[in-house]
Amino acid sequence: MNDAPEMAPYARHVLICTGAYCDPLRQADRLYHRLSHYLGELGAYDNPVRVKRGTTPCLGVCYGGPLLVVYPDGIWYHSVDDALLRRIVEEHLGNNRPVEEYIFHRLDGAPQPEVIET
């Protein structure tokens, strides 16, 4: 008997750090809930462009936050506020154009998003 859980496919996973050192002003929980709203506006809850979201208590950086990571792209953002979160959703997740001025790390070997010409 196989009781393994099932999960619908998704294209990306966004993680927001909620650690006290990274997020001393406790903004991450609010950003997490705003992310849900912005993804809904984008239509990113539908396959094949579905985006999962999650929080993590530590990403191992511990400053410059709130931090946000987009996988499988391997792109890490710093100083995320509501305005930047909206840009990340619209530009990076919506149009495959990462918000370069807020990227502080790229995971080596991660697939890079294909830019969509508009």
DSSP line for 71-92: ETTTEEE-S--HHHHHHIIIII
pLDDT value at position 101? 97
pLDDT recorded at residue 48: 65
Is 38 exposed, middle or buried (CB count within 10 Å of its CB: 0-12, 13-18, 19+)?
A: buried
Q: What pLDDT, on a 0 to 100 scale, did the predictor assign at position 117?
A: 62
H-assigned helices in 4-111: 28-42, 82-87, 94-95
- Round to whole Å and give the CA distance between 12 and 48: 10
Q: How many CB atoms lie within 10 A of CB 2?
A: 3
Q: pTM higher than 0.95, yes or no?
A: no
Phi/psi for 105 (5° steps) reads: -155, 140
17 close to 25: Cβ distance less than 8 angstroms: no
Give 10-residue mean pLDDT values along the chain (118 residues): 83 93 90 92 73 91 93 96 96 95 88 61
Q: Which domains does the chain have, with CATH numbers?
A: 12-106 (3.40.30.10)
Which pLDDT belongs to residue 50?
85
